[in-house]
C-alpha cells in the first residue's frame, strides 16, 4: 500500500563555526501504516537528527534541512512554515523522548499539560478536556488517574512520567509516533512495561511508530522493519527477522555481536573498536565505516558504497555486497 511517511534523499546539516556539515546524508526510507520501524546505531549516527528533521524541530539557525523530501500522508512537511507544522505536530505526528529530555513542565499539573494539547488541536470544552485527560491517563496504565491528573511531574516516578508523555503524545490519536530512546533512562522492568504499552497502543490506535534506539534487544521485541544508521547514512535496511538471522553489513554484525554482553551503552560501544566520526570529520567519498571495519578493503577508502538490494528488499551499503554499480557519473554521494 501507500506509505504513511516517505523520506527521500534527506540531507540535514548543522552549522559548526560557520560551516554546514551533514549530520544526515542522503537518507531515504518509508513507513507504512501500522508499521513499527526501528532505527538503530550508536550515538552520533544521525538517528535523532533524522527524527527532529521529520518533526521540524531542528535547533533554529543551527540545523537545517539542506535537501530532500519528507512526505507525510501525501503532504510535503519540508516545505511547511512554522504555523503549518504546528497544526500537525502533536496531532498527526507526535514525538516522545528519553526521560531527561522530556518536555513535561514542572510548574503545571499533569492534567493541564494533557489538556493543553487537546485544547490546541480540538474543539473541546475545558471540562471535557479534563475528563479526556483522565481517560488518557487510565489508557496508559496509570492507576487512580483522578488523583494523578492534579499532581505535578516531580510527584511521579520516571516510569509514570514516561506514561504521561505517552498520554500527551497519543491524546489526538496521531497516525505516527516517533519515539526517541523512550526507555533508555528507565530501569529494566519499567522499560519492558513501557514497550509493552507502546505496542498495545500501536495496535489499538492503528498507529505507525518510528522507534529510535541503540538497543537491538528492543528492536527484536518491537519492530517490523529495521534501519541501521552509521555516520549519518543508512547502511542496512530490512525486516526484523532478516536483520537478526541474515545480517549483511559488517557494522550490523558487530552491533549484533555486542548485544548479550551488557546493559550499559558505554560498555557496549567499547566492544566495537573505534568511534563514530564526528560530523566535521566524515569522509565525503569511501565507506565511513572503513576505519573500524574488520572486512575493509583498499577500495573502501575511496569508493562510496551504494544502498541497494538485489530485488529482495534487503538493502545494504557495503562494497562486499555490490554486484553491479551504475556508471561513475550516476553515483551521487
Residues forming contacts to Mg ion in the complex (CB under 5 A) are 48
- Residue 29 gets the label, from left (phi > 0), alpha (psi -120 to 50) or beta, of beta
Per rule CB under 6 A, is residue 331 in the interface with ligand SF4? no
**Which range, of 80-88, 174-182, 193-201, 318-326, touches ligand SF4 by CB under 6 A?**
318-326
Q: Site for ligand SF4 (CB under 6 A): which residue of 55, 258, 290, 306? A: 290
Q: Site for ligand SF4 (CB under 6 A): which residue of 300, 306, 307, 314? A: 300
State the nearest-atom distance from the C-beta of 10 to Mg ion, in Å. Answer: 16
Residue carrying C-alpha cell 511517511: 5
| Alpha-carbon gap, residue 48 to 222, rounded angstroms | 19
198 binds, among ligand SF4, Mg ion, none (CB under 5 to 8 A by kind): none
89 binds, among Mg ion, ligand SF4, none (CB under 5 to 8 A by kind): none
| Alpha-carbon gap, residue 237 to 141, rounded angstroms | 33
Output 104 or 296, the one with its CB closest to ligand SF4. Answer: 296
Per rule CB under 6 A, is residue 306 in the interface with ligand SF4? no
Q: What's the number of CA atoms in the CB half-sphere (13 Å) around residue 53?
A: 34
Cα separations (Å) of 243 from 43, 48, 107?
20, 21, 44
48 binds, among ligand SF4, Mg ion, none (CB under 5 to 8 A by kind): Mg ion
Q: CA gyration radius for the chain?
A: 21
Q: Which helix (H) or strand (E) holds 226?
A: strand 225-230
Query: Residue 113 has what DSSP assignment?
Result: H
| Alpha-carbon gap, residue 148 to 166, rounded angstroms | 15
289 binds, among Mg ion, ligand SF4, none (CB under 5 to 8 A by kind): ligand SF4
204 binds, among Mg ion, ligand SF4, none (CB under 5 to 8 A by kind): none
| Alpha-carbon gap, residue 280 to 19, rounded angstroms | 9
Pattern 225-254, ligand SF4, x by CB under 6 A: ------------------------xx----
Per rule CB under 6 A, is residue 293 in the interface with ligand SF4? yes
Chain residues that interact with ligand SF4, rule: CB under 6 A? 249-250, 287, 289-290, 293, 295-297, 300, 305, 318-320
Amino acid at each position: 500500500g501507500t506509505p504513511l511517511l516517505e523520506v527521500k534523499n534527506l540531507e540535514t546539516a548543522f552549522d559548526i563555526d560557520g560551516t554546514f556539515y551533514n549530520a544526515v546524508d542522503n537518507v531515504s526510507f518509508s513507513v507504512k501504516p501500522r508499521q513499527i520501524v526501528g532505527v538503530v546505531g550508536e550515538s552520533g549516527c544521525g538517528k535523532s537528527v533524522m527524527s527532529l528533521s521529520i518533526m521540524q524541530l531542528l535547533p533554529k539557525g543551527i540545523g537545517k534541512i539542506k535537501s530532500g523530501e519528507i512526505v507525510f500522508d501525501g503532504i510535503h512537511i519540508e516545505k511547511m512554515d512554522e504555523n503549518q507544522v504546528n497544526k500537525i505536530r502533536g496531532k498527526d505526528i507526535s514525538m516522545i523522548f528519553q526521560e531527561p529530555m522530556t518536555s513535561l513542565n514542572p510548574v503545571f499539573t499533569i492534567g493541564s499539560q494533557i489538556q493543553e494539547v487537546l485544547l490546541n488541536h480540538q474543539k473541546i470544552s475545558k471540562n471535557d478536556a479534563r475528563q479526556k485527560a483522565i481517560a488518557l491517563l487510565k489508557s496508559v496504565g496509570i492507576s487512580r488517574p483522578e488523583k494523578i491528573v492534579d499532581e505535578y511531574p516531580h510527584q511521579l516516578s520516571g516510569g509514570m512520567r514516561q506514561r504521561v508523555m505517552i498520554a500527551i503524545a497519543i491524546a489526538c490519536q496521531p497516525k505516527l509516533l516517533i519515539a526517541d530512546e523512550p526507555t533508555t533512562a528507565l530501569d529494566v522492568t519499567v522499560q519492558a512495561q513501557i514497550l509493552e504499552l507502546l505496542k498495545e497502543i500501536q495496535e489499538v490506535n492503528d498507529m505507525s511508530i518510528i522507534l529510535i534506539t541503540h538497543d537491538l534487544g528492543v528492536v527484536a521485541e518491537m519492530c517490523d522493519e529495521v534501519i541501521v544508521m552509521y555516520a549519518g547514512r543508512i547502511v542496512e535496511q530490512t525486516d526484523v527477522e532478516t536483520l537478526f538471522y541474515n545480517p549483511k553489513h559488517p557494522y550490523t554484525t558487530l552491533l549484533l555481536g555486542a548485544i548479550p554482553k551488557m546493559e550499559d551503552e558505554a560498555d557496549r560501544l567499547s566492544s566495537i573498536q573505534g568511534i563514530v566520526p564526528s560530523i566535521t570529520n566524515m569522509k565525503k567519498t569511501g565507506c565511513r565505516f572503513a576505519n573500524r571495519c574488520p572486512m575493509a578493503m583498499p577500495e573502501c577508502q575511496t569508493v562510496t558504497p551504494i544502498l541497494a538490494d538485489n530485488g529482495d528488499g534487503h538493502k545494504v551499503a557495503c562494497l562486499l555486497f555490490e554486484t553491479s554499480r551504475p556508471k561513475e557519473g550516476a553515483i551521487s554521494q
